[in-house]
């Protein structure tokens, strides 16, 4: 095969799609607000997406994005709706049909079904005002007629991209209104690298019952027995009010033993590190790791937001690394 430079073609495609996105940006109007409001107000139903061909594939992605930000949503195949899947669509649902032309034959049965049920809100994402889909919809989201990238203006490229972009805009707008944050996002993404990044300190910490607490006036010899029993390499020292006053690590023990021949009779209060670093249980584990790295320590006390001086758990570097957080 003779070598050919495809880079100019790639740049032409990207440039054509950038122009389409700019055209889409200029077309956004009050209809967009109406669609977002319909999704927000869909509390007793589901947001259902359907389309055919490339529009259907884009619709699947839009539905998946909506579900990932806490909006009950699923995709139905337009062709399958003529063979029983219309039963998935019910009263109080928001139905978003995607078709660049608005005349896809497979959508006609869905349109008729939605129009018969006045409690279904029918929304269209379409580029043709005179199409059946546009005329039949309750809310009309008109996207611009764009030039497809590539020869002949026949391959759905720019049109698929702007449809995908409008779907992302709808999801993020709804997410913004609902103040959907990282902790909410974590509920729907418990696994994988993304789930790991969203884990909180509470998810990974050693909880209170398994934390080696000792009193301030205990002798170090007895304290060491507690350390060996719990095998965490750390002891949390509490005062008579059960508030955390200090911490002793196995590294501290080693340094003390180098200076003292008999460490068993030392009082923990006299050798502990006072006012140990403590983090809120709701902090992201990645932030806790950053603190450990910057302070060059291997564990942190954990507290509730309301009681900073009462330890409810211990977070160690091993807890974080075992959760595949780096």
Where are the domains positioned within the chain?
A: 7-180, 201-322
pLDDT at position 70 is 87
Residue-wise pLDDT tens digits, 287-309 = 999 999 999 888 999 999 888 88
CATH 1.10.1060.10 fits domain 201-322: no
Kindly give the pairing relationship between strand 121-126 and strand 311-316: unpaired
Rg (CA), the chain: 30
- The pTM for the full model equals 0.71
Residue-wise pLDDT tens digits, 243-252 = 999 999 888 8
pLDDT at position 259 is 82
Please enumerate in sequence order all residues whose Cβ is within 8 A of that of 184, keeping only pairs 6 or more positions apart, or say none.
69, 70
Please enumerate in sequence order all residues whose Cβ is within 8 A of that of 193, keeping only pairs 6 or more positions apart, or say none.
324
7-180 with 201-322: one CATH topology? no
pLDDT at position 189 is 64
Residue-wise pLDDT tens digits, 5-60 = 899 999 999 999 999 999 999 999 999 999 999 999 999 999 999 998 999 999 99
Residue-wise pLDDT tens digits, 78-131 = 888 888 889 999 999 999 999 988 998 889 999 999 999 989 999 999 999 999
Mean pLDDT, rounded, for 126-138:
94
CATH 3.30.70.20 fits domain 7-180: no
Phi, psi (degrees; rounded to nearest 5) at 294 = -70, -35
Q: What is the DSSP string of 226-259?
A: HHHHHTSSEEEEE-TTS-EEEEEEHHHHHHHHHH
């Amino acid at each position: 095969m003779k070598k050919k430079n495809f880079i100019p073609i790639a740049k032409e495609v990207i440039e054509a799609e950038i122009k389409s996105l700019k055209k889409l940006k200029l077309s956004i109007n009050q209809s967009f607000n109406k669609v977002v409001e319909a999704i927000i107000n869909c509390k007793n139903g589901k947001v259902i997406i359907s389309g055919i061909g490339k529009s259907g594939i884009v619709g699947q992605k839009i539905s998946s994005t909506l579900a990932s930000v806490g909006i009950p949503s699923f995709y139905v195949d337009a062709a399958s709706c003529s063979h029983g899947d219309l039963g998935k669509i019910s009263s109080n649902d928001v139905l978003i049909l995607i078709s660049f032309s608005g005349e896809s034959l497979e959508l006609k049965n869905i349109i008729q079904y939605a129009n018969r049920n006045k409690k279904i809100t029918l929304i269209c994402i379409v580029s043709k005002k005179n199409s059946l889909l546009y005329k039949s919809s309750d809310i009309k989201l008109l996207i611009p007629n764009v030039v497809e990238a590539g020869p002949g203006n026949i391959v759905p490229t720019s049109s698929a991209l702007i449809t995908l972009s409008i779907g992302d805009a709808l999801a993020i707008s709804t997410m913004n209104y609902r103040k959907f944050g990282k902790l909410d996002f974590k509920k729907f993404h418990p696994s994988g690298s993304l789930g790991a990044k969203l884990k909180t300190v509470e998810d990974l910490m050693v909880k209170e019952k398994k934390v080696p607490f000792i009193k301030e006036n205990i002798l170090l010899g007895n304290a060491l027995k507690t350390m060996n029993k719990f095998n965490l390499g750390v002891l949390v020292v509490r005062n008579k009010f059960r508030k955390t006053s200090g911490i002793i690590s196995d590294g501290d023990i080693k340094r003390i033993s180098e200076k003292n021949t008999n460490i068993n009779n030392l009082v923990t209060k006299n050798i502990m590190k006072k006012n140990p670093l403590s983090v809120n249980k709701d902090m992201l584990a990645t932030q806790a790791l950053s603190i450990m790295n910057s302070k060059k320590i291997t564990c942190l006390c954990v507290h509730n937001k309301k009681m900073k001086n009462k330890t409810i758990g211990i977070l160690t570097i091993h807890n974080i690394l075992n959760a595949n957080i780096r």
